[in-house]
Structure 1
């Protein structure tokens, strides 16, 4: 006589919540993009060369002709300059983010992702996170170069780390603008051009490379309310570098808070637009 033992039913895995699935999917896509970057090292190398060239050119070509406060010392200008170069570096990564997404669109990869049971915003979030990692590596190299040309931190390591956190937050915010551009154009070349055209006025009509008090009144007002300028000003204060603004404009008086507010608003706005565009985009 044989006895049959009924197997206990195996419980089905509990479904993950929306947030858990979104985070997991985003990390998977980010890992995919990071692996791709390591297989194309020239992407990282060329991304590091440009900011290093800006440091050297601005420091030694314009260093003796720029007035910061009452000083025209090249050493003072180098310390003034670095917050602007750091901010420019993290925002110029926008063009790369847009080009990468446009390339995925052009190859049909985005359509494949859209056919999978994954969170809708995970593809874009993963891409922007991977770009943030690459930007962080570039900033680390840039810090070494800055130290070599004479830049120093005067307010201690904790404040310096806070400044770099603001920079990376700004870079992450701008990468969502790049994501929207990449989804809106047909080719990676167009995404690169579209990602740079608007960045030049944003970075140069600011306090990054010149003292904004020396600008004409209408340009000075634009520069003082520029989100880019708020982060540059906050970094100068946290680094203890020269060029702290005496302007009465609210973003200059509360630069750290203004930097956070601007970055968060940009992320919320452009992530919403980019995810909406992703849902309706076709190859």
Structure 2
């Protein structure tokens, strides 16, 4: 009975802080840019700049671009976890949480639960922008939603890595800069925006071992065929392994934080 009461309190506290983190995102221009503006800008930019060169037209390029921009947008949004966490710590907000009669894990849980909704919004903005540019999926809405949820799951699992970095690195601006550099490298050295066969052999090798390439390949296959495949299963398992590894590490570091 006591354990049930504690569990219910933890869930209520976590949901309250999830709401707080979503409001914080909406009232912070930088966070709104990461979640809403960037997917729109990158979709428009890459579509109209590279569409004619790579595929002959913007419309022909969109089926390739959508999966790449979807993953990039969600990874960009996921990287904000570490920065927001560190900002709250540096501003003393988490110290204030310690004095409140709430579950000790609730501030961290609220941050990560809120991230899942931020990621879903970011991915939806990328798909909506592509649709306004003329992209029309050849599969049903269920397959599109499945691809979006897979991308969100991978983004959410990655957010645990960024959350751990946010607990370990003291400078929020440094976290933001490093996260942006890493994500840009991983996405541009993948099959997100160009055919891999056009790259030099040594770059093709790097692209093929890049986990972002595997994720994009799985999502692209779902959007093209409407069917779940072995690559998607591998991506799902990989995301689960990331969570199994980094969730306990993040919780331990969080609980041992001064």
What TM-score range do you get, normalising by the shorter chain? Answer: 0.7 to 0.9
Q: 1:109, 1:128 → 2: CA distance?
A: 16
Q: 1:22, 1:195 → 2: CA distance?
A: 30
CA RMSD of aligned residues (A): 2.4
Q: Compute the TM-score of the two structures, normalised by the length of structure 1.
A: 0.80
**Change in 2 beyond 3 A, CA 1:228/1:22:** farther
**Change in 2 beyond 3 A, CA 1:185/1:63:** same
Query: Number of paired residues?
Result: 255
Q: 1:280, 1:215 → 2: CA distance?
A: 46
Does the CA-based 8 Å contact 1:94-1:195 persist in structure 2?
no
- Please give the per-residue CA displacement for 1:244-278, whole angstroms capped at 9, x wherever unaligned: xxxxxxxxx73211221121122222222211221
2:85 corresponds to: 101
1:114 offset after TM fit, Å?
4.2
Q: 2:191, 2:11 → 1: CA distance?
A: 36
- Please give the per-residue CA displacement for 1:150-187, whole angstroms capped at 9, x wherever unaligned: 21211211111110110110111121122112111223
**Change in 2 beyond 3 A, CA 1:158/1:189:** same
2:11 is equivalent to residue 23 of structure 1: yes
1:173 corresponds to: 157
Of 22, 34, 53 in structure 1, the residue corresponding to residue 41 of structure 2 is 53
1:98 offset after TM fit, Å?
1.3
**Change in 2 beyond 3 A, CA 1:177/1:46:** closer
**Change in 2 beyond 3 A, CA 1:230/1:22:** farther
1:108 offset after TM fit, Å?
1.7
Larger Rg: 1
1:84 corresponds to: 68
1:38 offset after TM fit, Å?
3.8
Q: 1:270, 1:198 → 2: CA distance?
A: 18
Aligned residue for 1:154, secondary structure, equals coil
Deviates more, 1:180-189 or 1:108-117: 108-117
Does the CA-based 8 Å contact 2:31-2:80 persist in structure 1?
no
Bigger proportion of residues as helix: 2
Does the CA-based 8 Å contact 2:39-2:125 persist in structure 1?
no
2:245 corresponds to: 269
Aligned residue for 2:136, secondary structure, equals coil
Q: 1:194, 1:161 → 2: CA distance?
A: 31
1:41 offset after TM fit, Å?
6.0
**Change in 2 beyond 3 A, CA 1:217/1:17:** farther
Please list, as runs of the form range in 1=range in 2, the aligned pairs for 1:205-244 lying within 5 A after superposition.
205-240=189-224
2:242 is equivalent to residue 254 of structure 1: no
- Please give the per-residue CA displacement for 1:83-118, whole angstroms capped at 9, x wherever unaligned: 100100000113321111011110122233345565
1:64 corresponds to: 52
- Please give the per-residue CA displacement for 1:119-163, whole angstroms capped at 9, x wherever unaligned: 554322210221221222232232221112121211211111110
